[in-house]
Amino acid sequence: MSVLELQRDVVYGPISFRRLGRSLGINLLPPSRKVCTFDCVYCQYDTAHTVPGPAGQVGFPSVDSVLQKVEEAIRRQPSPPDYLTLSGNGEPTLHPNFPDIVSGMLELQDRMCPQSRLAILSNSSRMHRLEIRETVAQLDDPIMKLDAGDPQTFSRLSRPSSAITLEKILEGLEAMPRLIIQSMIIEGEVQNAEGEAREAWLASVARLSPEMVQIYTAERPVAESGVRQVSRQHLEELASRAQERTGVTVKAY
Ligand code: SF4
């Protein structure tokens, strides 16, 4: 399996994304260590290191250092980025002071680049917590992962930490005032591109009724987990079918 290099600092990029334009990435996780509540079969980072207790909370950047580094990076840009995106080496809401970081980021955005949008790429696993939900709701673009609509596919595809269930995630997402869903569509030993797995995902999208759904596929096959990309045509057909079925705007990237 090819493994991507982890982010070694708080700020990375800017990176040009089809979905997000010119985006300055902000890694709230410890440098060079993946910290996530999932271990998705398609993940390009190494095996997850979850944070079940205080010992796992070591190595996160402080609130002050995050805000200082982001401020310096914005100053260095020739023009404001399209997006400031909370993402990085795992699940950004796991930062122990996540609400304080978001407050500081909103202040920075307001003061330095009000034309930039503030986004998060989250795996949705902590949206059942009111404080996290209310914090994420303050961002311009809450982009939340939903790769499966049935517990079996969820468990095989996302390989979550033991306390996390799909129903808890769906309930958390349902309680969000606004929502953008992102879904990775794959084929292979575990798949969500066809059959019952696809139908269950479509039903969950309809249940959540987000503002928009962004679907995409793996950038490359992940041989060890039997993950295969879906074709461009398949992705576009799925986007049309999902849009028709749910009434939600669905874009293939
Ligand atoms: S949620 Fe993201 S970082 Fe976490 S395992 Fe899945 S792909 Fe990797």
Dump pLDDT digits (tens) for 4-41.
Answer: 788 889 999 998 888 888 999 999 999 878 999 999 99
Do residues 10 and 27 lie in contact, with contact meaning Cβ atoms separated by under 8 Å?
Answer: yes
Q: How far apart are the first and last CA of the chain?
A: 23
Per-residue pLDDT for 118 more than 60?
A: yes
Mutate which of 6, 35, 36 for ligand 1 pocket (most atoms within 8 A of beta carbon): 36
CA 37 – ligand 1 centroid, Å? 8
40 lines ligand 1 (CB under 6 A): yes
Do residues 124 and 107 lie in contact, with contact meaning Cβ atoms separated by under 8 Å?
Answer: no
- Residues 135-141: what's their mean pLDDT? 98
pLDDT band of 51, cuts 50, 70, 90: low
Q: What residues contact 12, with CB distance under 8 A and at least 6 apart?
A: 24, 25, 27, 88
30 lines ligand 1 (CB under 6 A): no
> What pLDDT does residue 195 have?
98
Do residues 166 and 205 lie in contact, with contact meaning Cβ atoms separated by under 8 Å?
Answer: no
Question: Which atom of ligand 1 lies at the shortest distance from residue 90's CA?
Answer: 3
Per-residue pLDDT for 184 more than 60?
A: yes
pLDDT for 195-225, tens place per residue? 999 999 999 999 999 999 999 999 877 777 7
Bond from prior residue into 160 cis (ω within 30 degrees of 0): no
Closest C-alpha to ligand 1, atom 2: 90
Do residues 147 and 184 lie in contact, with contact meaning Cβ atoms separated by under 8 Å?
Answer: yes
What whole-number percentage of the chain has pLDDT above 90? 82
- Residues 63-76: what's their mean pLDDT? 98
